[in-house]
Amino acid sequence: MLSQVLEYARSQRERYVEDLLEYLAIPSVSAQPDHARDVKMAALWLADYLRAAGLRAELIATPGHPLVYAEWSGHDHHRPTVLIYGHYDVQPAEPFELWQSDPFQPVVRDGYIYARGASDNKGQHLAHVNAVASYLRCEGTLPVNVKFLLEGEEEIGSPNLGSFIAQHRDLLACDCVMISDGSLRSLTQPVLTYGLRGLAGFEVHVRCLAHDVHSGHYGGNVQNPALALAQILAALKDAAGRVTVPGFYDDVRTLSAEERRSLARIPYSEADLVRETGALAAFGEPEFTISERRGARPTLEVNGMWSGYIGPGSKTIIPATAHAKITCRLVPHQEPMKVIQQVQAAMRAAAPAGVEISFSDERGSPASLIALDAAEVQAAIRAAQHTYGNPPLYELEGGSIPIVHDFQTQLGKPIILLGFGLPEDNIHAPNERFALSCYEKGMEASIRFLAEL
């Protein structure tokens, strides 16, 4: 059965490429109001495509761009259900002049499809749709129940998806969520992401004066808020890069020896970091490796600071106020609001005399951690191994995808983060591309996953 479905998908290769090219020609740029009609067109195209694949599909209105929801009409309560998430919106393509071909006139060149959205995310979720279509065409049935939830607002921060998930838990009920919106390390090395960091952020405001004053008349007799803020911020970390805020690491989980060995298999060196960033050297907690610091350790960073005069020439003042934007990347089990309170308390304690300190814009989202031993995750691991020839590397992602946490808390099921693209796909950049081989392997991985599940 499985080999017939795989054979069928291979036989349809050219048609599936043509379909993707047609989809990519729709400029569904969610951020730009001029493209609102195109976003809608992409949603309609996708719903039609899902119907042609043999699914029931509909558009669901939101206060923003619509969701596309689809499910298999043969839904059988005795079988497991996978919810496949993706997004049909794309990033703006500007600057157009840096593209070698028009971002919305997709072309195949040297084994790659070049177009905005090719890898992020149209090619990746269409691979899943084609996998389902191949199964239904070949067998007339699916081995498991399948639901699709494809949104049109991922690239603008999914403002309406969290509340939709919370209000439609029955509709979305499933045994696991499959998300393919990332990359392999290479065509022979799949990657399974099992953790994402969370975020906690706020702004700090330091006031020492009612207004800027003459630095000659008053200098030496009043506090300087820029210096005071620098002292406050400097007190938050030691010279080795450890955060010194009391309690900051209390809820951070300890890595087991096995997990440290697994993370050590990720081929990423200090030289790679230096090449990518232009940093003079890696810097961070000395007792942890780069891969551990990226995903398993929390951070505290200043994203911006401002105070006083920064125009041309000089202006001899003592500024009245100073400000900074602070964010912490959080790891599993840390609570955003608790961390914010801890950091703010440490800043109050570090404030010198003559300073009024206040905070605003507090916000946060927790980290996610996915248990690798869940049967559904194991099915994905086997599917990846058979498709790409090697078992996946297990990675902790340093960034945040808040929607993953929504899926996890609202649906309570494992989330499988298995990307089909490549690191050099130029997502969000000019000349975005998706390898034909990635597209084909993505379909194969999806077919094998449905079978394994």
CB of 121 to Zn ion, least distance (A): 7
Residue closer to Zn ion by CB (options 160, 321) is 160
CB nearer to Zn ion: give 120 or 452: 120
Residue 378: count of CB within 10 angstroms of its CB: 14
Residue placing its CB nearer to Zn ion in the complex, 384 or 427: 427
Please, which residue, 28 or 321, has the CB nearer to Zn ion?
28
Closer residue to Zn ion in complex, CB, 120/151: 120
Q: Where are the alpha helices (DSSP H) in 12-146?
A: 13-24, 36-53, 123-139
Pairing of strands 317-318, 55-60: unpaired
- Report residue 7 CA to chain centroid gap: 33
Provide, rounded to whole angstroms, the least separation between the CB of residue 359 and Zn ion. 31
Residues of span 102-131 touching Zn ion by CB under 5 A = 120
Instruction: For Zn ion, give the closer residue by CB, 321 or 426.
Output: 426
Site for Zn ion in 142-171 (CB under 5 A): none
Alpha-carbon gap, residue 56 to 54, rounded angstroms = 7
Q: Quick one: which of 447, 449, 385, 445 has its CA closest to 138? A: 447
- Tell me how far, at minimum, the Cβ of 427 lies from Zn ion, in Å: 6
Q: Nearer Cβ to Zn ion, position 54 or 103?
A: 103
Helix axes 36-53, 123-139, angle to 10 degrees: 20
**Could you tell me the smallest distance in angstroms from the CB atom of residue 425 to Zn ion?**
11
- Cα 440–Cα 441–Cα 442 angle in degrees, nearest 5: 90
Q: Distance between alpha carbon 53 and the CA centroid of its chain, in Å?
A: 28
The C-alpha atoms of residue 23 and residue 126 are separated, in whole angstroms, by 9
Burial class (CB in 10 A: 0-12, 13-18, 19+), 152: buried
CB of 92 to Zn ion, least distance (A): 11
State the minimum distance, in angstroms, from the CB of residue 428 to Zn ion: 6
Build a one-symbol-per-residue string for 317-356: x at contacts with Zn ion by CB under 5 A, - elsewhere.
----------------------------------------
Q: CB-wise, 120 or 153, nearer to Zn ion?
A: 120
The reply to whether 89 sits near Zn ion by the rule CB under 5 A is no
Q: For the chain, report the end-to-end CA distance as a whole number of angstroms.
A: 14
Q: Compute the distance between CA of residue 148 and CA of residue 77 in angstroms, rounded to an integer.
A: 17
The amino acid at 44: L
Binding pattern for the stretch 284-323 against Zn ion, x by CB under 5 A and - elsewhere: ----------------------------------------
The distance of closest approach from Cβ of residue 419 to Zn ion in the complex, given in angstroms and rounded to an integer, is: 12
Instruction: Give the total of residues touching Zn ion (CB under 5 A).
Output: 1
Residue nearest to Zn ion (CB): 120
Q: CA-CA distance, 121 to 71, in Å (whole number)?
A: 20
Instruction: Pick the closest to residue 182 from 123, 240, 140, 114 (CA basis).
Output: 123
Q: How far is the CB of 413 from Zn ion (least distance, A)?
A: 24
Q: 116, 40 in Cβ contact below 8 A?
A: no
Q: How far is the CB of 49 from Zn ion (least distance, A)?
A: 20
Q: Which is nearer to Zn ion, 38 or 120 (CB)?
A: 120
Q: What share of the chain is helix, strand, coil (3-state, %, to 5)?
A: 40, 25, 40
State how beta strands 55-60 and 321-330 pair: unpaired
* Cβ-based nearer residue to Zn ion, 121 or 408: 121
Gap between the Cα atoms of 238 and 241, Å rounded: 5
Minimum distance, C-beta of residue 90 to Zn ion, in the bound complex (Å): 8
Site for Zn ion, rule CB under 5 A: 120
